[in-house]
Structure 1
Amino acid sequence: MLFNSIDFAFFLPIVFILYWFVTNKSLKLQNLLIVVASYVFYGWWDWRFLSLILFSTIVDYSIGRLLSNQENEKKRKALLWISISVNLGFLGFFKYYNFFLENFITAFTFFGSEFNASSLNIVLPVGISFYTFQTLSYTIDVYKRKLEPTKDFIAFTAFVSFFPQLVAGPIERANNLLPQFYKKREFSYPKAVDGMRQILWGLFKKIVIADNCAEYVNQIFNHSEDYLGSTLFLGAVFFAFQIYGDFSGYSDIAIGTSRLFGFNLMQNFAFPYFSRDIAEFWRRWHISLSTWFRDYLYIPLGGSRGPKWKQIRNVFIIFIVSGFWHGANWTFVVWGALNAIYFLPLLLLNQNRVNTNIVAEGKYLPTLKELVQMGSTFFITVLAWVFFRAENINHAILYLKGMFTSTFFSSFELFPTKILLIIGIFLTIEWLGRSKQFAIQTVDILPKILRYSLYSAIIFSILVYSGKEQAFIYFQF
């Protein structure tokens, strides 16, 4: 079920009414309703994969209980590896089986041997990369004794399958989200209003920004050999806004929907395109995934401790694994490696923690230095996005070669004034709200009539300027 669909427009108010007016007297009933609603939400796409979520839930719940009664360190480690093997085994089979098989066959052919094997017609379960990492965080934290294992199976099932963030995050940590299922939730009108505003802003990002940009991105990338360098660059810039509007829009809708039900999810995007260097960008982009890799991979590897060669190794590992997490294609690996290369100068010069404050904090405009830093960071990010969007590495290289020709400074062959104007307004609102959790909160300082005028304008733009409906990009991950 898509957030931007008529189905969800009916589904959400029905669940909301049942949650606050029918099951509100019992915490267990509310949690059970969330489980049922979440399974309906996910099963709407393909009911066959409900068994996958249920099996993963049972495995990690059971291992958590066993870990609580086990003091033998070898047995505890064995239980942890069962959880890791099951979760990553499912992820590896559904997402990477054909990728590894095809590359295995290619390697044999390269050395002059023949190897015949058939690829499988595997359907990738939506959201598997997200909920497997979410359940893994629970098992790992229980193993490290950072979290008490739950005895409430319904609460744990609700945590794993919570429908607002089930298929595309944020990837919640068990120590943040799971305890919220133990507590009685009271309806908060201000919290619900704030949630509705965030949903509205998320829909604007997705329907108006991302979907409109997608039409031009598809046209330019699918026929890149026909366009001048300037237009190819414009296509890459549009993709940067497409993926940001698409994914951060999903996160906003997920977080806003959760607030309607009394839950707080972590911020997943913090205005990343206003970053002054690539380290700051990765502290602000897909925060739930970046911090997951930091805590469960980067730090266990040694993080930024030890000699420089180990620090460099750890940086490349985390970025390449992050790239591979996004998809079974070498383009994602190269995208990850390219971001690691971007990061290296900051690491070597110990400048990777310089820009931790909000850009131009307390001011309306950035300094010239900040403007140059933001522009250069955005530029190299756009170049990396070409690999993320391209069909294969050869396509990405040809795209970049076509971009960096003498025609880079030519006039645009496509100049969609409407989209550029909308992006300009969008960036202005984001800039003014950059100190908030989400941009539209900045209207709180405005008189009521202006606030409601802005809300009306956003609703009007969603209805009138919506692009052709596109599936959320991160559903494929």
Structure 2
Amino acid sequence: MLFNSIDFAIFLPIVFCLYWVVVNKNLQLQNFLLLVASYVFYGWWDWRFLSLIAFSTLVDYSLGVLLGKEEKETKRKVYLWTSIIVNLGFLGFFKYYNFFVESFVDAFTFFGQEIEIGTLNIILPVGISFYTFQTLSYTIDVYKRNLEPTKKFIAFAAFVSFFPQLVAGPIERASNLLPQILKKRSFNYCEAKDGLRLMLWGLFKKVVIADSLSPIVNDIFSNYSTLSSPVLIMGAIFFAFQIYGDFSGYSDIAIGTAKLFGIELMSNFKFPYFSKNIGEFWRRWHISLSTWFRDYLYIPLGGSRGSKLKGIRNVFAIFIVSGFWHGANWTFIFWGLFHALLFLPSFILGTNRKYVEIAKSGFNIVTAIKNVYRTVLTFALVTVGWVFFRAETISDAFTYLKRIVTVFSVGDYSHPNGYRLIDYLLLLLFFVAYEYIIRNKERNPISFKNKYVRLLVYILLVFLMLLFYDDGVDRSFIYFQF
């Protein structure tokens, strides 16, 4: 079920009313309703894959109970590795089986040896990368004794399948979400109001920014070999905003929806395109994933402790694995490697934690100019990386970038549906300006004190959504494929 669909517009009010009117006095019934609603939400796409999430839930719940009872370290490790193997085994089979088979065959072909291994017609279950990491956080934290295992199966199942963030995050930690599901919740009007505002902002980013840019991006990347440098630059920039509007829009709607049910999800984006270096970018982009890899991979590998060489090894490990998490294609792995190379200088020089605060008080013209330069440079480097992320092959990406620096002819871009680049450039300028104004309010993007200003923003956002809505565009979210 899509957030931006009529189905969800009917589904959400029904669940909300049942949750707060019918079962609001009983926590167990509330959690059972959340579980049923989440399974309906997920099964709307393909009910057959409900068995996967149910099996993963049962396995990790049982192993959590066993870990809570067991004192012998050897058995505890067996339980932990059982969870890791089962969860990553499912993820590996559905997401990476064909990739490994094809890569294996290509490697032998490269050395002149022909072999035949059949691939499988596998459908990737939506959200499997997200809920797999979510359940793994539970068993790992219970193993480390950072979290007490729960014996309430319905509550645990509701934690794993919580529908607002089930298929595209944020990837919640058990230590944050599970305690909220285990305790009684009461309706909070202010929180619900903020949730609706955040949902409106997320829908705007999805419908007006991401979906309206999608046809142009698809056309430019499909025909890049015939287009000039200025158009290719616009295509890369447009994709940077398309994926940001799409993914951060989903996160905003998810966080806002959770607020309607009295639950706080973690922030997943904090205006990443205002970052002044790559380290800051990754503290603001897909925060739930980058912090997951930090806590469950980077730090266990040793983090920045020890020698610089080991630290560099760990940096490459976390970025390459992050790229591979996104998809079974060498383009994603190269994208991760590219970001590792971008991050490396600041890591070696110790400046990767230099820009932590979003904004500082006061104004200095020299500092402002430097910050603008750093922000533009960081955005440009990130956008180069997005070319590899979006391209079908690494070769396509390099050819795309090569044409940017070699084909300088200026010509009018003509999209088959009549889209004009200038219209969307103006739209993005408006969007960037507004995000700069609200850059300290990632959880409350429309919470202006003046009610008339708020009303004006509401009207403008709805008007733009109606203006830019295109029924012919694929409205699914990009990160559903991951």
Q: TM-score range by the shorter chain?
A: over 0.9
- CA change 1:364–1:209 in 2 (3 A) is farther
Other structure's SS at 1:402 match: helix
Equivalent position of 1:434 in the other structure: 439
State whether structure 2 residue 417 is matched by structure 1 residue 416.
no
Equivalent position of 2:137 in the other structure: 137
Equivalent position of 1:444 in the other structure: 448
Q: What amino acid sits opposite 2:47 in the alignment?
A: W
How big is the shift at 1:406? 4.8
State whether structure 2 residue 108 is matched by structure 1 residue 108.
yes
Equivalent position of 1:45 in the other structure: 45
Provide the identity percentage: 62
Q: What amino acid sits opposite 1:176 in the alignment?
A: N
Equivalent position of 1:151 in the other structure: 151
Equivalent position of 2:462 in the other structure: 459
How big is the shift at 1:112? 2.7
* 303-312 or 190-199, larger mean C-alpha shift: 303-312
- Cα distance in 1 between the residues matched to 2:445 and 2:474: 23
- Cα distance in 2 between the residues matched to 1:201 and 1:364: 32
Aligned residues of 1:319 and 1:336 also touching (Cα < 8 A):
yes
How big is the shift at 1:416? 2.2
Q: Deviations over 1:294-337 (max 9, x none)?
A: 00000001101111111111000000000000000000000000
- Cα distance in 2 between the residues matched to 1:249 and 1:402: 31
Equivalent position of 2:417 in the other structure: none
- CA change 1:412–1:385 in 2 (3 A) is farther
- Cα distance in 2 between the residues matched to 1:426 and 1:458: 11
Equivalent position of 1:166 in the other structure: 166
How big is the shift at 1:363? 5.7
- Cα distance in 2 between the residues matched to 1:46 and 1:362: 53
Other structure's SS at 2:150 match: coil
Aligned residues of 1:56 and 1:87 also touching (Cα < 8 A):
yes
Q: Deviations over 1:395-449 (max 9, x none)?
A: 11111111111517x46636522222221111111111111134624x423x212
Equivalent position of 1:400 in the other structure: 401
- CA change 1:388–1:364 in 2 (3 A) is farther
Q: Deviations over 1:53-99 (max 9, x none)?
A: 00000000000000011011011001000000000000000000000
State whether structure 2 residue 322 is matched by structure 1 residue 333.
no
Aligned residues of 2:23 and 2:30 also touching (Cα < 8 A):
yes
- Cα distance in 2 between the residues matched to 1:464 and 1:361: 37
Aligned residues of 1:230 and 1:412 also touching (Cα < 8 A):
no
- Cα distance in 2 between the residues matched to 1:221 and 1:50: 35
How big is the shift at 1:453? 1.4
Other structure's SS at 1:404 match: helix
Equivalent runs, 1:205-284 vs 2, <5 Å:
205-284=205-284
* 108-117 or 43-52, larger mean C-alpha shift: 108-117
- Unaligned 5+ residue runs, structure 1? none
Other structure's SS at 2:133 match: helix
Equivalent runs, 1:315-330 vs 2, <5 Å:
315-330=315-330
- CA change 1:189–1:340 in 2 (3 A) is same
Other structure's SS at 1:407 match: coil
- CA change 1:38–1:386 in 2 (3 A) is same
- CA change 1:360–1:375 in 2 (3 A) is farther
Other structure's SS at 2:448 match: helix
Aligned residues of 1:94 and 1:122 also touching (Cα < 8 A):
yes
Q: Deviations over 1:257-277 (max 9, x none)?
A: 000000000000000000000
Q: What amino acid sits opposite 1:18 in the alignment?
A: L
- Unaligned 5+ residue runs, structure 2? 415-419
- Cα distance in 1 between the residues matched to 2:443 and 2:5: 23
Aligned residues of 1:360 and 1:367 also touching (Cα < 8 A):
no
Aligned residues of 1:276 and 1:373 also touching (Cα < 8 A):
yes
Other structure's SS at 2:105 match: helix
- Cα distance in 1 between the residues matched to 2:356 and 2:77: 37
- CA change 1:433–1:412 in 2 (3 A) is farther
Q: What amino acid sits opposite 1:451 in the alignment?
A: R
How big is the shift at 1:392? 0.7
Other structure's SS at 1:124 match: coil
Q: What amino acid sits opposite 2:437 in the alignment?
A: L
Q: Deviations over 1:88-120 (max 9, x none)?
A: 000000000000000111122223323211100
Q: What amino acid sits opposite 1:450 in the alignment?
A: V
Equivalent position of 2:55 in the other structure: 55
Aligned residues of 2:197 and 2:444 also touching (Cα < 8 A):
no
Aligned residues of 1:275 and 1:359 also touching (Cα < 8 A):
no
Aligned residues of 1:31 and 1:181 also touching (Cα < 8 A):
yes
Equivalent position of 1:382 in the other structure: 383
State whether structure 2 residue 375 is matched by structure 1 residue 370.
no
Other structure's SS at 1:71 match: coil
- Cα distance in 1 between the residues matched to 2:317 and 2:423: 41
What CA RMSD, in Å, does the superposition of the two structures yield over aligned residues? 1.4
Equivalent position of 2:195 in the other structure: 195
- Cα distance in 2 between the residues matched to 1:14 and 1:121: 37
Q: What amino acid sits opposite 2:467 in the alignment?
A: V
How big is the shift at 1:183? 1.1
Aligned residues of 2:331 and 2:393 also touching (Cα < 8 A):
yes
Aligned residues of 1:335 and 1:388 also touching (Cα < 8 A):
yes
TM-score by length of structure 2 reads 0.96
Aligned residues of 2:332 and 2:388 also touching (Cα < 8 A):
yes
**4+ runs deviating over 6 angstroms:** none
Equivalent position of 1:347 in the other structure: 347
- Cα distance in 2 between the residues matched to 1:423 and 1:472: 20
Aligned residues of 1:236 and 1:383 also touching (Cα < 8 A):
yes
Equivalent position of 1:476 in the other structure: 481
Q: What amino acid sits opposite 1:306 in the alignment?
A: G
- Cα distance in 2 between the residues matched to 1:346 and 1:185: 44
- Cα distance in 2 between the residues matched to 1:463 and 1:215: 17
- Cα distance in 1 between the residues matched to 2:431 and 2:190: 25
- Cα distance in 1 between the residues matched to 2:373 and 2:438: 21
How big is the shift at 1:459? 1.1
Other structure's SS at 2:408 match: helix
How big is the shift at 1:25? 1.1
TM-score by length of structure 1 reads 0.97
Equivalent position of 1:77 in the other structure: 77
How big is the shift at 1:226? 1.2
State whether structure 2 residue 126 is matched by structure 1 residue 126.
yes
- Cα distance in 2 between the residues matched to 1:260 and 1:310: 45
